[in-house]
Amino acid sequence: MSIRRRKGYTMKYIKHNTVGGPIDISSIACGTVDIGGKVGKKESFAILDHFVEQGGNLIDTAKVYASWYVGDRPLSEEMIGYWMNVRGNRNDIVISTKGAHQLISDMDTPRVSAQYILQDIDESLFALGTDYIDIYWLHRDDDTKPVSEIMPALNKAIKAGKLLSIGASNWTPARMDEANAFCANNGLQGFSGMQILWSAAQYVDMLNFDDDLVQITPDIYQWCTQRGMLMFAYASQARGVFRKAPAAGGLANLNETYRRYFTNERIDAQIAYAYELAVKYDTTPSAVLLAYITSQGLPSVALAGFSRLAQAKDSLHDPDVMLTAEERARLGWLESAL
């Protein structure tokens, strides 16, 4: 891990290997699920500009993001592409996007196939206004599809110069091992990263009650460590519960959704400790939650989604906070099981 200084701020950076050589990626990624959808142009530009001003260069999106607003149209990718074109900064930005998710208009039809993967890649390139994607993720898995169909399709796009590296979101380690073994045996590029549900707070019930999501476990953490797998932690700020619960007087006073996510004995103590750490490091609890991920002993990126500029400013108040192992263990839930 390296530290890059930009405009007076510091941001932790990670080396990520691609087919074109190693690139530096910021250890905090700007999540864009609402960019271009409920977040309009002015606020979207303000959020993206602030992220870059704070030293970030990694923007994470997906073909499906904000597509629920206008007929499966990739509004998030389109807004990011528009912003990069206006700012003229494509070469300074690391684009991470995802495909092969079901269409919002047809959630019952899986799309993890060679045909849909290649179609989604081309559509994402068009929406983003670019001819290459730095990190491309399969957004979902379909274990009825053999890796012998999936991985050659991704490598066809790599060979064409459209993708620089590939990863899997919500895949199990077993399937990723199977895919990478196939690639090793056939001279193909394998997965180098995993996107996974991971925050200091443990989800007792799955996010959005979606059984297709994969949450971090001690075994997965060890697996990633052993393989040097880049980890992208989505929902890294636990859906705002560290901010919402104190404002409501405790988790018990939040709505049923939050009580289903986090009905465990530790959450109130974890929230209190996040505020204690925020005072210690003269920052915000939101920044502490990102630091929980970015201070890990393996290459890890905290995905932080913003729908308002104020959220971005709060989360990126101090992007170079480093928590000790003891602080991470007290703040998080995973460490006690490692």
For the domain made up of 2-239+286-329, the CATH class stated in words is: alpha beta
CB 322 within 8 A of CB 300: no
Q: Which backbone phi and psi does 191 adopt, to 5 degrees?
A: -70, 135
Measured distance CA(75)–CA(34) in Å, rounded: 9
Q: What is the CA radius of gyration of the chain?
A: 19
pLDDT of residue 7: 45
Please tell me the distance from the alpha carbon of residue 149 to that of residue 138, in angstroms, as a whole number. Answer: 13
Counted residue by residue, the chain has a size of 338
The domain limits of the chain are: 2-239+286-329
Q: Which two structure tokens, joined as six digits, stand for 317? A: 């108040």
- Sign for the CA dihedral angle at 294, 180, 212, 37 comes to positive
Residue of 207, 205, 185 whose CA lies nearest to 195: 207
**What pLDDT does residue 206 have?**
82
Residue 306: which residues within 8 A CB-CB, separation 6 or more? 30, 31, 34, 47, 51, 312, 315
**pLDDT score recorded for residue 207:** 78
CB of 198 closer than 8 Å to CB of 215: yes
SS (HEC) of the chain: CEEEEECCEEEEEEEEEECCEEEEEECEEEECCCECCCECHHHHHHHHHHHHHCCCCEEECCCCCCCCCCCCCCHHHHHHHHHHHHHCCHHHCEEEEEECCCECCECCCCCCCHHHHHHHHHHHHHHHCCCCECEEEECCCCCCCCHHHHHHHHHHHHHCCCECCEEEECCCHHHHHHHHHHHHHHCCCCCCEEEEECCCCCCCCCHHHCCCCCECCHHHHHHHHHHCCEEEEECCCHHHHHHHHHHHCCHHHCCHHHHHHCCCCCHHHHHHHHHHHHHHCCCCHHHHHHHHHHCCCCCEEEEEECCCHHHHHHHCCCCCCCCCHHHHHHHCCCHHHC
Tokens of residue 308, six digits? 């308002």
pLDDT average per 10 residues of sequence, the chain (338 residues): 47 95 97 97 98 96 97 98 98 98 96 98 98 98 97 98 98 98 98 97 86 94 96 96 94 91 89 97 97 96 97 94 97 91
pLDDT for residue 5? 40
pLDDT attached to residue 338:
84
Whole-model pTM?
0.95
Place of tokens 């971005």: 312
Chain position carrying tokens 């393989």: 227
